[in-house]
Structure 1
Amino acid sequence: MRSVALSPEFREESLQAMAAEELDILVIGGGVVGAGSALDAATRGLKVGLVEARDFASGTSSRSSKLVHGGLRYLEMLDFRLVAEALKERGLLLQELAPHLVHPVAFLYPLKHRGWERFYAGSGVALYDAMSRVSGRAGVPLHQHLTRRGARKLVPSLRKDALVGALKYYDAQVDDARHTMFLSRTAAAYGARIASRARVVELLREGERVTGAVVRDLDNDTTVTIRAKQIINATGVWTDETQDLGGQRGLFHVRASKGVHLVVPKDRIRSEVGLILRTEKSVLFVIPWGRHWIIGTTDTEWTLDKAHPAASQADIDYILDHVNAVLDTPLTRADVEGVYAGLRPLLEGESEATSKLSREHAVSHPAPGLVVVAGGKYTTYRVMAEDAVDEAVFGMSSVFDRKVGPSVTAKVPLLGAEGYDALVNSRHVLAESSGLHEVWIDHLLGRYGSLVHELLDLVAADPTLGEPLAGTADYLRVEVVYAASHEGARHLDDVLTRRTRISIETFDRGVGAAEESAALMASVLGWSDEQRALEVDHYLKRVEAELESQQMPDDATADAARMGAADVVPLS
């Protein structure tokens, strides 16, 4: 498979091509389900386009818990089918589809009661392991039972009175934003036309049938009309708004649940593994994340601004209170280096409490020519995409005049997966030939897989790109250049928030990296001095607004504070 860059030129060509000839399928939404749908359709030989109003994964798909998992708590809800499906997908991602992006991670589940709880929880985790092996795609070790002493040896930070024993089990984790971007880029490699910062402002109709969309190119302030045999609405929490553009009454509605996560340095919690803790509402994870821990999440209904959900003081205190209940050295606000909030798209009407809403997805055909997919969970994106494309191709209003085959994405590795294991084994060779330390090669392999050669070629042409980026010790200058030239990053926020995680991995929220990053992007995107200054100013104001929102007592005041910083490119 040839590597295709999501370059500025590719974006322009994509918009022109989508406007020039009728597509088989137009996907609206560049989150994980939309990108997965574009890949599914493209690998069936269909003519595909994808448009995203903001950046790839700029909504829910960059703000998850970064876990690829079956969902242990869904076993307790007796949702065996969902867990089995998710565990199969976890194995596929670990072993075949994205081994460079998805990696096993160990968790400790503390037991607070003697006897019955070990039997009850142990039975659940044993079933979890068994279901993953029945799928034929486990990809992780089996669980273990631990004494309190054994558990505290793995997690010295645990209070002695916080447990009587523990279970150790495995799931997997992923950088969700990078994985979603890789899905889009792989779809492009199979022929899909892809454009971010392209907002659908109208759905076109001929009679009852939806036949296309009017799309505004936000970066160039122009409008194009795209015709398509079928449109897939994969806009997550914006599903209802997208349907309204065509005047359709939806067959279901999507409800937004806010999940907040904190990021703290690794040395604040002494542990070799992650933690999973029960709360009165759901579960709380402490997840290893490089030189950091991600701690979350909350689960509360959100009815305010969907583009920039805000974390309040109450959200942060809730997480700190619950994690501190088991730590011998409590965390404080001063330990928090990053905070992010995301919205889960849940199907409305199943329960009043959002934490109990099913993560099952739904696909509907509200009008001829329009398919809607919503709900679900990150891990099962591929199944959701397959179901959406099946409905578009084989559903009630199919107009395809040739035979279209079934989904093949279970056998289609993402860009960067092929040859990844071999490169990991020979990373010392890459280090010697590139002049970079082996630690940096490991870092690059875990973010780019076998595409690492494209970055090393850039470093060979300009050795200064092999130096660490100002303001952070975790990323190289070349990664900013590559994000703009190959990964579809159009603005500074795209790089600092999604192509890298600098915005949540530094105490200054990425302010120290902003100037140099903007200068590196300017060299690729041709920014003027004025545009570069605008990008930096926008980012600084965004950080200021987010920090202010996190001092507010509740959702309403936090949202008002966050809305004080405007988008660098307005959507209207």
Structure 2
Amino acid sequence: MSKQQGAQFLGPQQREAAWEQLQTEQFDVVVVGGGVVGVGAALDAATRGLKVALVEARDYASGTSSRSSKMFHGGLRYLEQLEFGLVREALRERELSLTTLAPHLVKPLKFLFPLAHRVWERPYMAAGIFLYDRMGGAKSVPSQKHLTRAGALRMSPSLKRSSLTGGIQYYDTVVDDARHTMTVARTAAHYGAVVRTSTQVVGFLREADRVSGVRVRDCEDGRTAEVKGHVVINATGVWTDEIQALSRQRGRFRVRASKGVHIVVPRDRIVSEAAIILRTEKSVLFVIPWGSHWIIGTTDTDWNLDLAHPAATKADIDYILGHVNSVLVTPLTHADIDGVYAGLRPLLAGESDETSKLSREHAVARVAPGLVAIAGGKYTTYRVMAEDAVDVAAEDIPARVASSITEKVPLVGADGYFALINQTVQLGEQYGLHPYRVKHLLDRYGSLITEVLELGRQTPELLQPITDAPDYLQVEAVYAAAAEGALHLDDILARRTRIAIEYPHRGVNCAQQVAGLVAPILGWDAVTVEREVDTYRARVEAEIESQTQPDDESADALRAAAPESRAEILEPVVVVPDRV
């Protein structure tokens, strides 16, 4: 394996080497936070030729970046809020990822917008979608198409005839957000960034009046270290205020957490050849095809409880079911739900009392010499947010800093992807897999598919499906631990794969098998395997129980009581910032 190729392998060996590097090297930029903005900032800085470290307390995308609506979208609804700049920027980013940066992960998706009102709604929505298309929404996908009521019902037979008068077809995108974020992290590592998860910032280093680095703690074994950097970028999303307080500097903005809940139901419960977007009294509801499932969401409510484990309540789920059932011929019930997940949007506070009206613009501030904070924004614009953060951070870097080039840097797995799509049958014959399985793997790993499958060539039984989650091969769990930075069952079942939301057992039935597969790689003995399985099972039981609760407080209490897989993680200590 070449040095460059090995740099993108995030396994136990790389993790130990990274700990040594964090303690001994002087970095230009230290990024705190392994969500999409943080890993994007690490990639942006590394490709400018800077020496970069990134630390994350839990796992890549373990917060907001694994719990979105799974779309890399332009933000059609923001046109109604007159945020034209944000929509234009998001559509440009969507196009870049769809065609150049991540075509293996970001896919075009056909949408149906059912029209419910005669006369005024069609011209009103047509004008908005026309603007959306002209601003960049129809560069590499078809532009809008108008449908009669009969045409809309042919496209989506599950919709009630009485719920629509016609429809408009347009295109957006779908993405596996957690895999995308992890892939950005691997790409940053590929270009020299030192990236490490389960590494929590517990303090800041100072030289005179400036921040000169961070103090970190290993969340697996409790070791501590000091990481020196000319500038620290706080890219922690909903944790922005907590990290800000830890730095003892007063922030330039505040972040509010808005909870968004999604449910996952089997594909056969809704018959439609397109995704569906529905208007609600507050915002919109998406019905997104997701493999053999539909993802339906989202809610939009304030959340002031545990930031690490936001909990969905029965009220949240009933809200989603009520809205989607208002247009379905055959209503969905709680029994139809295979998975539920809740995430927190980091919204800039102050624009409005209603979270659904808070701006999705982002803000960057040089909080103090050597400390930059970035927050707000939306998943689609992560690359621009990262570029803006590094631009501001450049003020504290002694050497000249080059301009951002990430719009020209494909993520690992993108190069050669289109050629491999044309070789699906040959790849299947080479490894003894059905072409459908190969296509599924290509859309998860892109041109890195051969790295995954070569592990199976060495151990052929790994090319068999996981027994209780047959959409995934056993080799995918092994690869997650060996190359994708997964340290715990939760990382594998909830983020490297989406077993935790795609099967009614939520991953419990295959936890023992997966733990056995990765134990040799992660150095787990029999006691550790059982602890991992028990911890995962307790987490799932707490989540399922919390989803029967009537309110946030009771749901949060149940979810927060479940054990953490990262035993040494510390609860944030509230520190009052120094006054300016």
TM-score (norm 1): 0.98
**1:65-464 alignment to 2 at 5 Å?**
65-132=69-136, 138-393=139-394, 395=395, 398-400=396-398, 402-464=399-461
RMSD (Å) for aligned C-alpha atoms: 0.9
Distance in 1 between the 2:551 and 2:233 partners?
Answer: 36
Report how far residue 303 of structure 1 moved.
0.2
Which of 487, 492, 501 aligns to 1:490? It is 487
Is residue 19 of structure 2 the alignment partner of residue 22 of structure 1? no
Corresponding residue for residue 559 of structure 1: 556
Q: Which runs of 5+ in 1 are unaligned?
A: none
Report how far residue 456 of structure 1 moved.
1.3
Deviation track 1:297-338 (CA, whole Å, cap 9, x = no partner) reads 000000000000000000000000000000000000000000
Structure 1's consecutive aligned runs of 4 or more residues displaced over 4 angstroms after TM superposition are none
Corresponding residue for residue 576 of structure 2: none
Letter in 2 for 1:90: R
SS of the aligned residue for 1:251 comes to coil
Corresponding residue for residue 5 of structure 2: 2
Report how far residue 138 of structure 1 moved.
2.5
SS of the aligned residue for 2:365 comes to strand
Contact 1:88 1:138 in 2 (8 A): no
Report how far residue 521 of structure 1 moved.
1.1
Report how far residue 564 of structure 1 moved.
2.0
Distance in 2 between the 1:348 and 1:158 partners?
Answer: 38
Corresponding residue for residue 526 of structure 1: 523
Report how far residue 208 of structure 1 moved.
1.8
Distance in 2 between the 1:225 and 1:139 partners?
Answer: 47
Letter in 2 for 1:412: V
Distance in 2 between the 1:12 and 1:184 partners?
Answer: 17
Distance in 2 between the 1:268 and 1:152 partners?
Answer: 16
Distance in 1 between the 2:512 and 2:468 partners?
Answer: 9
Distance in 2 between the 1:399 and 1:39 partners?
Answer: 17
Q: How many equivalent pairs are there? A: 565
Deviation track 1:164-192 (CA, whole Å, cap 9, x = no partner) reads 00001100111000000000000000000
Distance in 2 between the 1:451 and 1:193 partners?
Answer: 21
Q: Percent identity?
A: 60
Letter in 1 for 2:452: L
Contact 2:234 2:373 in 1 (8 A): yes
Report how far residue 139 of structure 1 moved.
2.5
Distance in 2 between the 1:169 and 1:44 partners?
Answer: 37
SS of the aligned residue for 2:466 comes to coil
Letter in 1 for 2:483: H
Distance in 2 between the 1:47 and 1:14 partners?
Answer: 13
SS of the aligned residue for 1:166 comes to strand
Deviation track 1:409-442 (CA, whole Å, cap 9, x = no partner) reads 0000000000000000111110111111111101
Contact 1:51 1:199 in 2 (8 A): yes
Letter in 2 for 1:455: V
SS of the aligned residue for 1:67 comes to coil
Contact 2:108 2:141 in 1 (8 A): yes
Q: Which runs of 5+ in 2 are unaligned?
A: 571-580
Contact 2:28 2:397 in 1 (8 A): no
Corresponding residue for residue 62 of structure 2: 58
Corresponding residue for residue 573 of structure 2: none
Letter in 1 for 2:401: V
Contact 1:30 1:56 in 2 (8 A): yes
Distance in 1 between the 2:481 and 2:5 partners?
Answer: 19
Contact 1:205 1:246 in 2 (8 A): no
Query: Once structures 1 and 2 are overlaid, which stretch shifts more, 9-18 or 102-111?
Result: 9-18
TM-score (norm 2): 0.97
Letter in 2 for 1:436: L
Distance in 2 between the 1:192 and 1:206 partners?
Answer: 24
Deviation track 1:479-519 (CA, whole Å, cap 9, x = no partner) reads 00000000000000100000000000001111111010000
Distance in 1 between the 2:530 and 2:139 partners?
Answer: 49
Query: Once structures 1 and 2 are overlaid, which stretch shifts more, 2-11 or 348-357?
Result: 2-11
Deviation track 1:214-255 (CA, whole Å, cap 9, x = no partner) reads 100111220010000010000000001001111010000000
Deviation track 1:146-174 (CA, whole Å, cap 9, x = no partner) reads 00100000100000000000001100111
Distance in 2 between the 1:384 and 1:297 partners?
Answer: 24
Letter in 2 for 1:454: E
